[in-house]
């Protein structure tokens, strides 16, 4: 089926992205996985090459390009080399941190911080999740109280992607315990602020090169200029940015499913059993046919979501539909691809094995599948 999402400019961009990844990422990703950390110097080179931070306005060092199709190209090309730890770190910047900053920062904050993100010298993180508050954001216990013109931030966060590497962390905190959903605000916490303590780097089952951490805030004094957005509207800020985050998960999911499926199809034409390629077996052909069909159909939904997002029409409900369905499809496709590889699929030297464990988080972060269904169901029942 002819895919009509991209124009000539996007395919030219794809060539430059592919060249960058083959030069700067593919040779090093296994070492990053062994180290448990990506060499942060690669992000400065990535930003210089236009791999991310495209949406940063020109006056702050970016290109001011908001067409999400360029993000899709990056997702697809990173999936092609199976560098999912790198993919998540880039997505964290483009689909979360930078999206918040460009939307919510005032001019002074933009002048102060955006040039560093545009150059790749600053890395950000978003800290919402706590030990007792994941999908239920109103369960956040981290607090910020006024002290003169400053704020005093206290609490802890967990499962924070890029928590060790980050130079600037967006932290959600409760600022008025009596105000219900209007009692939360967002703050910008800078590296090495007194009282900001990074806990252990968490050991995950997948994405080993992508650092994930616990963060502690022990009476961190924040100047008034470190409030992000409007006081008391933190929860609303978080909710309004979820469609972009969930579109990002869908983009990574469909790109990874497609890339691993293509690798598996090629493997099936080369792997010989009973004197012929296993692709000659009807069961294998049926498996490939089913996966190819499912991926094509899901890809059409993601493409439509990208078009809707570019037009400013992607709703939280439609983003939630894509997030749960495509991430569940990714998990299902990779499981079947691993099965078709047989024993080799269980060997970490094969991309399908690494992608299999990296994929498992996709149905959890950004809102679990169960939460997505609940949100969609509420909307349908209104």
Catalytic site positions: 245
Give which of 366, 287, 378 is closest to 326, Cα–Cα: 366
Answer for the pair 262, 295: CB distance below 8 angstroms, yes or no: no
- Distance of alpha carbon 198 from alpha carbon 98, whole angstroms: 22
Buried b (16+ CB within 10 A) or exposed e, 249-284: bbbbbbbbbbbbbebbbebbeebeeeeeebbeeeeb
- C-alpha distances out from residue 237 to 166, 230, 339, Å: 21, 9, 42
Please classify residue 337 by burial: count the beta carbons closer than 10 Å to its beta carbon, then call 0-12 exposed, 13-18 middle and 19+ buried: buried
| Per-residue 3-state assignment (H helix, E strand, C coil) for the chain | CCCCCCCHHHHHHHHHHHHHHHHHCCCCHHHHHHHCCCCCHHHHHHHHCCCCCCCCCHHHCCCCCCCCHHHHHHHHHHHHCCCHHHHHHHHHHHHHHHHHHHHHCCHHHHHHHHHHHHHCCCCEEEECCECCECCCHHHCCCEEEEECCEEEEEEEEEEEECCCCCCEEEEEEECCCCCHHHCEEEEEEECCCCCEEEEEECCCCCCCCCCEEEEEEEEEEECHHHEECCCCEHHHHHHHCHHHHHHHHHHHHHHHHHHHHHHHHHHHHHCEECCEEHHHCHHHHHHHHHHHHHHHHHHHHHHHHHHHHHCCCCCHHHHHHHHHHHHHHHHHHHHHHHHHHHHHHHCCCCHHHHHHHHHHHHHCCCCCHHHHHHHHHHHHHC
């Amino acid at each position: 089926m002819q895919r009509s999402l991209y124009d000539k400019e996007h395919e030219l961009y794809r060539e430059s992205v592919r060249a960058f990844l083959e030069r700067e990422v593919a040779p090093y990703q296994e070492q990053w996985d062994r180290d448990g950390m990506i060499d942060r110097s690669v992000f400065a080179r990535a930003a210089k090459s236009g791999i991310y931070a495209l949406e940063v306005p020109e006056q702050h060092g970016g290109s001011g390009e908001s067409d999400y199709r360029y993000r899709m190209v990056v997702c697809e090309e990173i999936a092609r080399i199976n560098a999912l730890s790198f993919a998540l770190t880039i997505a964290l910047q483009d689909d979360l941190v930078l999206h918040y900053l460009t939307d919510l920062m005032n001019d002074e904050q933009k002048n102060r911080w955006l040039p560093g993100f545009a150059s790749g010298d600053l890395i950000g993180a978003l800290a919402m999740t706590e030990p007792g508050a994941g999908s239920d954001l109103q369960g956040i216990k981290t607090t910020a109280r006024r002290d003169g013109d400053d704020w005093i931030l206290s609490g802890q966060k967990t499962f924070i992607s890029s928590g060790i590497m980050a130079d600037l962390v967006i932290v959600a905190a409760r600022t008025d315990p009596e105000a219900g959903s209007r009692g939360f605000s967002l703050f910008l916490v800078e590296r090495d602020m007194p009282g900001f303590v990074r806990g252990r780097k968490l050991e995950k089952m997948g994405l080993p090169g992508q650092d994930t951490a616990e963060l502690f805030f022990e009476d961190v004094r924040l100047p008034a200029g470190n409030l992000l957005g409007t006081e008391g509207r933190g929860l609303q800020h978080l909710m309004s940015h979820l469609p972009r985050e969930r579109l990002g998960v869908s983009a990574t999911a469909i790109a990874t499913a497609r890339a691993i499926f293509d690798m598996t199809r090629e493997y099936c034409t080369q792997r010989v059993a009973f004197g012929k390629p296993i692709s000659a077996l009807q069961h294998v052909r049926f498996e490939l046919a089913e996966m190819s069909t499912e991926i094509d159909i899901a890809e059409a939904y993601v493409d439509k979501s990208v078009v809707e997002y570019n037009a400013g029409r992607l709703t939280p409900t439609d983003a939630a539909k894509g997030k749960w369905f495509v991430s569940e499809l990714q998990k299902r496709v990779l499981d079947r691809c691993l099965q078709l590889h047989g024993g080799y699929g269980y060997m970490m030297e094969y991309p399908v094995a690494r992608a299999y464990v990296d994929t498992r988080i996709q149905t959890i972060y950004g809102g679990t599948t169960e939460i997505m269904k609940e949100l969609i169901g509420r909307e349908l029942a209104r």
